[in-house]
Amino acid sequence: MNLKDTFIASLVPIFLGFGFVIAKPAFESFPPILLMGLRFIFAASILIWWFPIPRGYLLKIFIASLIANTLQYSITYSGLDLIDASSAVLLVQMEVPFGVIFAYFMLKEKPTVRALIGIGIAFIGVYVLTGSPNLDGKIIGIGLTILGSAIWALGQVMVKPLSKEINPLALVAWMALFSGPILILLSAIIDGNTINYITNAKIDHWIIAIYIGFIMQPVTYGCFYYVIKNNPIYKVLPIVTMGIPPTGLLAAIFLLGEEPTKELFIGGAIIIVGVILIVFTKNKKEEVN
């Protein structure tokens, strides 16, 4: 992978890790589900005009958006609302082990022994991390964050076949268009007072919503799919996956003032070791390419 592509790939975890963490203060004005609805509405509003209607695929895109966007983001960010961002940014790394598991059962992609060992290590890391004092009594938040990671992995397995038929960024745009209104409606049902939340939101929280919708979503996926198009995924995934935890932790510490515990560092390190074993596993076909 050349220097240009390496630089572009490195932008992905920076935008994602930073955006994930700074979403937490915005929950003071916007419930998590409403914030995610605004995120996708904003993203769709600038992306959708660049791509034609993917006729023949709309139903499949809608179903994928229900899982990968609507369900996943509402659950993951509801979990983030209940626990420290520094813990959440490490727990969401379980997306990688879950991705391997779902790919095996749904796509018949057989994992290597190394990947299986990595999955086991990652789950041990979760066990250690959840023993952190700052997570005491927050089992619901932990459970939602881990469940959201599993659903994200399931969603990506569903999206993968579609990405071979449709421009990946167009897929992001149309999935956002489907999921945004549903999330806002869902928030109105669950949280109520949607208009009040929107009209009474603080300016700095609107800035966060604008960032994650207009900047983070399109720029992140634009960079990711550009690099994936030009390079083998096993070269890209380690940069993206390994960059999110340090970016998220630094943002949580310096921007939110969180103080991670030793259990969090130890458990997080174990999770990352497990993820490294998984993402650095590559098959022979990819090596030849």
Give me the pLDDT at residue 288, please. Answer: 40
Q: Are 267 and 126 in contact (CB under 8 A)?
A: yes
Give me the pLDDT at residue 285, please. Answer: 46
- What is the average pLDDT value for the chain, to the nearest integer? 87
Give me the pLDDT at residue 183, please. Answer: 97
Give me the pLDDT at residue 233, please. Answer: 61
Q: Higher pLDDT residue, 59 or 5?
A: 59
Predicted confidence band at 234 (pLDDT cuts at 50, 70, 90)?
low
**Is residue 30 over pLDDT 70?**
yes
| Cβ atoms < 10 Å from Cβ of 86 | 25
Q: What is the average pLDDT across 252-263?
A: 90
For 56-71, the pLDDT digits (tens) are 899 999 999 999 899 9
- Identify the top-confidence range among 162-171, 201-210, 268-277: 201-210
Q: What is the secondary structure of the chain as a DSSP string?
A: --HHHHHHHHHHHHHHHHHHHHHHHHTTTS-HHHHHHHHHHHHHHHHGGGS---TT-HHHHHHHHIIIIIIHHHHHHHHHHHS-HHHHHHHGGGHHHHHHHHHHHHH--PPPHHHHHHHHHHHHHHHHHTTSGGGTT-HHHHHHHHHHHHHHHHHHHHHHHHHTTS-HHHHHHHHHHHHHHHHHHHHHHHT--HHHHHHH--HHHHHHHHIIIIIIHHHHHHHHHHHHHHS-HHHHHHHHHHHHHHHHHHHHHHTS-----HHHHHHHHHHHHHHHHHHT---HHHHH-
**In the chain, where are the structural domains located?**
3-288
Q: What is the secondary structure of 184-207 as a DSSP string?
A: HHHHHHHT--HHHHHHH--HHHHH
Q: Are 89 and 245 in contact (CB under 8 A)?
A: yes
Predicted confidence band at 237 (pLDDT cuts at 50, 70, 90)?
low
> Of all residues in the chain, what percent carry a pLDDT higher than 90?
47
Q: Largest Cα–Cα distance in the chain? A: 57
Predicted confidence band at 144 (pLDDT cuts at 50, 70, 90)?
very high
> Of all residues in the chain, what percent carry a pLDDT higher than 70?
94
**Is residue 277 over pLDDT 50?**
yes
Q: What is the average pLDDT across 259-280?
A: 88
Q: What is the average pLDDT across 156-164?
A: 79
